[in-house]
Structure 1
Amino acid sequence: MNEHALKDRIISLLDSHKVGTLATVRNNRPNSRYMTFFNDGLMLYTPTNKETHKAEDIRENPYVHILLGYEGEGYEDPYLEIEGKVEIKDDNEMKEKVWSDRMSKWFDGPRDPEFVLLQVTPSAIRLMNDGEETPDTLEL
């Protein structure tokens, strides 16, 4: 698949799948959890509390691995394996953009000082289980 087609297919999966796993490193061991992801093109954002273990993990080692897209309906469901570097962001404009009333269980609104976004800048995205030409990797 050419790079343009690969990028379009990856963005299509990012746009349509919002729940995935985020893996960090804690005490030299992998630590995964389910997260909700939002994307702006290939850039990913996920909300969290700035005092969580994952935020602490990222401050110590900003490199993460994400799985996104698999629906569990069969062996051929397409999904993405994403390697990236995270920055903890307190960007009010982006927090307003991703805010949902469902987040009020954890935060007092998009301007809650505990609410931050993890901004994931991908370094590589592998498209898996999407036909004969996969796996295929977009290096960034």
Structure 2
Amino acid sequence: MSQEELKRQAMEIISSHRTGILANVENNRPHARYMTFYNKDLNLYTPTKLDTEKTDEIEKNPAASVLLGYEDKGLSDRYIEVSGTSRINQSQTLKEEFWDDSFTKWFTGPDDPNYVFLEIEPAIIRILNNEGGPPQEFQVF
């Protein structure tokens, strides 16, 4: 399968799944949690508070992995695994673009200085459980 076809499939999976698992490193151990994801050109963005352990973990070790997809009994769902580097993104443009009124549980609005995004820049994306075939992998440049 061509790299372009793999990228198209990855974008399809990312675009149709908002909830996934973010794993990063805490005290030299994996730490995974469910998060809500948004995407732009394969980069993933998840809202969080600036003053959380996630931001501390990422500052110490930016390695991150995200799983998206795999929602129906797990028998035939395609899903992706994104391995990459994470960083804190405080872009006001992103904060306004992805703002959702449900965020008022945690933030006063898109101008809240504690409202930030973790940005995951993928290095490798794997598509798994794709019609029973073996995992397909491509590098993102």
Please say if residues 96 and 110 of structure 2, whose CA atoms lie closer than 8 Å, have aligned partners that are also in contact: yes
**Residue 97 of structure 2 corresponds to which residue in structure 1?**
97
Helix, strand or coil at the partner of 1:74: coil
Cα deviations across residues 7-38 of structure 1 (Å, max 9, x unaligned)? Answer: 00000111000000001111111111000000
TM-score (norm 1): 0.96
Counterparts in 2 of 1:25-104, with a 5 A limit? 25-104=25-104
Question: Which consecutive unaligned segments of at least 5 residues does structure 1 have?
Answer: none
Flag as ranges the 4+ runs of structure 1 deviating above 3 A. none
Q: 1:37 to 1:110 in 2, by over 3 A?
A: same
Which residue of structure 1 aligns with residue 2 of structure 2? 2
Q: Which runs of 5+ in 2 are unaligned?
A: none
Query: Match of 2:127?
Result: 127
CA RMSD of aligned residues (A): 1.0
In the aligned structure 2, how far is the partner of 1:39 from the partner of 1:3? 19
Distance, in Å, in 1 between the alignment partners of 2:74 and 2:133 is 19
Question: Aligned-pair distance for 1:84?
Answer: 0.8
Tell me how far 1:73 sits from its aligned partner. Answer: 2.3
CA shift, 1:133, in A, is: 4.3
- Normalized against structure 2, the TM-score is what? 0.95
Which deviates more from structure 2 when the two are superposed, residues 126-135 or residues 57-66? Answer: 126-135
